[in-house]
A = this chain, B = another copy of it.
Amino acid sequence: MSDKRKHDRAFVRTFFTTPTAEQGEDDPAKKLRGAIGLRGMQAPDVWVPDNEDATAPSMRDEGAENVAEVVAEGGADFPGEIHPRVVWHRDDPGTRYRGFQHMLTIADPEKGAVDHVDGFVIPEVGGIDDWKKADEFITIVEHEYDLEEGSLAMSVIVESGAAELAMERLRDEMGKPDNNLERLFLLVDGEVDYTKDMRAITPTGALPPWAELRHNTSRAASAAGLIAVDGPYDDIRDVEGYRERMTENQAKGMTGIWSLTPGQVVEANWGPLPPEESYWLVDEGGREVELEREDGVEVYDGDRISLEGAGDGYVLTVGSDERRLADEDELREELLALVDYVPSMNDVVDSMEEFEEAKEAGRGAIAMTRSATIRIDGVEVDVSSDRMWDEATYQAMMVPVALFQDVYENRPDQRDDLAERYGEDVVDRAMAVGS
């Protein structure tokens, strides 16, 4: 086994759920029909007709029929993968049996949807043996309908301590002759139910951050060739918070996130891709803010950092911390420790190309230099930093590029958006590096 991902998609940025049947609507499947029509950056990598929590219990039998009908009609043209979520619970055989029946309904070849169904999402799993029960039902569905064994993927929602522990065993359990767990695809955290299962309490009722759960999910994905996806971000209007969560997740290796609206899908589709323009950050004292580029100068116009000349030297104040610096060299060094550079997609590709050339020329490590003129309170300072790149740096920086390539290959409907943002030239060069 390697850390190669085993499905068509090596990366999944977006996991978008839609209710399958709503009471009181003229067309109970209206939202399904809306979602399957999404295209481009509004369309998720994985679309999840949600026959569990998003749909009232009394509507779920109808919901399964709706999924089959809507996917039969529109599934062929949908640009992402389709993975309906069915009901399941580690503690309730009745719920598990109902989930099985819903899978039989959705996958029934006579309904015409199954060719466009890429797999199922199983919520509320428990220990590894519970995962195997779901796997077995999918195997039976495949057998009954003459589908290839393992052709339907299985994704799980990790929302119990038992499931968190089960993830550690996937690498050993996948490939055993008595299961088809190689069908596993996404490990999706479900923090609301997880909070309940862990019996956590916060004064305001806010969800705990569950940093360890996210690490463990990402680690399990890495060890078993799967893809880690974070749970829903409830505050739909808080775009900034959603982005911060994604940045946190990406630093843990969790490149996907749940999306509750097409607006969140757009955010999350762009989320892990490098920015169009590079920029510099400065640490204002615990908080990093972006500098503004004006005529090639990086300008700080906040209130927390001030800089003024003092004789031959300078006084640099960050918050209420005043630092006296003897000369421009000291100032430069002090500033270097405060600033950070965020490369654009173009920069990343440049660096990859430069390293690839160096490697061909027999050099194993080269220095990448970043320079800028920074202006604070009218004082301009030139700073420049080197970073050594070796093979390991190159491989680590390849991750966002590999993700870009995966998106480009698998989402032709997003190519125009990528070209518009980055330019055709950058797109072409990004597709060429690393090969």
Using a CB–CB cutoff of 8 Å, the interface residues on chain A facing chain B are 1-3, 11, 23, 53, 56, 90-91, 126-127, 160-162, 164-165, 168, 171-172, 192-193, 195-206, 208, 211-213, 215-216, 218-223, 234, 247, 250-253, 255, 272, 275, 281, 286, 302-304, 319-322, 340-343, 362, 364, 387-388, 390-393, 395-400, 403
Whether B320 lies near A199 (C-beta < 8 A) is no
Whether A126 lies near B1 (C-beta < 8 A) is yes
Stoichiometry (number of copies) = 3
* Further pairs besides A56-B362, A211-B212, A213-B215: 9, Cβ < 8 Å: A23-B362, A164-B219, A197-B222, A199-B399, A200-B250, A205-B343, A205-B387, A205-B393, A212-B216
Residues of the B chain whose Cβ atoms lie less than 8 Å from the Cβ of A2: 90-91
Given A321-B304, A362-B56: A208 in contact with B251 (beta carbons within 8 A): yes
The answer, among B11, B23, B162, B200, for a CB contact under 8 Å with A223, is B162
CA distance A168 to B169 in the complex (A): 11
Given A1-B126, A304-B321, A393-B192: A218 in contact with B247 (beta carbons within 8 A): no
Residues of the B chain whose Cβ atoms lie less than 8 Å from the Cβ of A286: 286
CA distance A172 to B35 in the complex (A): 42
The answer, among B193, B199, B250, B303, for a CB contact under 8 Å with A255, is B199
Given A2-B91, A219-B165, A223-B160: A127 in contact with B204 (beta carbons within 8 A): no
Nearest to A219 among chain B residues (CB) is B161
Residues of the B chain whose Cβ atoms lie less than 8 Å from the Cβ of A200: 218, 250-253, 399
CA distance A119 to B393 in the complex (A): 28
Q: Pick 23 A–B contacts, CB within 8 A, sort by A.
A: A1-B126, A3-B162, A56-B362, A127-B223, A160-B223, A161-B218, A161-B220, A161-B222, A164-B223, A168-B168, A193-B396, A196-B395, A197-B222, A200-B250, A201-B272, A201-B399, A203-B247, A234-B388, A286-B286, A302-B321, A303-B321, A303-B322, A319-B320
CB distance from A140 to the nearest CB of B (A): 24
CB distance from A110 to the nearest CB of B (A): 31
CA distance A249 to B7 in the complex (A): 37
Given A3-B162, A251-B208: A201 in contact with B320 (beta carbons within 8 A): no
Residues of the B chain whose Cβ atoms lie less than 8 Å from the Cβ of A160: 3, 222-223
Whether B204 lies near A341 (C-beta < 8 A) is yes
CA distance A192 to B393 in the complex (A): 7
Residues of the B chain whose Cβ atoms lie less than 8 Å from the Cβ of A197: 3, 222
Whether B392 lies near A253 (C-beta < 8 A) is no
Whether B221 lies near A161 (C-beta < 8 A) is yes
CB distance from A214 to the nearest CB of B (A): 9
CA distance A165 to B206 in the complex (A): 30
Whether B165 lies near A255 (C-beta < 8 A) is no
Residues of the B chain whose Cβ atoms lie less than 8 Å from the Cβ of A387: 205, 234
Whether A281 lies near B204 (C-beta < 8 A) is yes
Residues of the B chain whose Cβ atoms lie less than 8 Å from the Cβ of A399: 195-196, 199-201
CA distance A196 to B390 in the complex (A): 13
CB distance from A92 to the nearest CB of B (A): 9
CA distance A343 to B203 in the complex (A): 7
Whether A91 lies near B251 (C-beta < 8 A) is no
Residues of the B chain whose Cβ atoms lie less than 8 Å from the Cβ of A23: 362
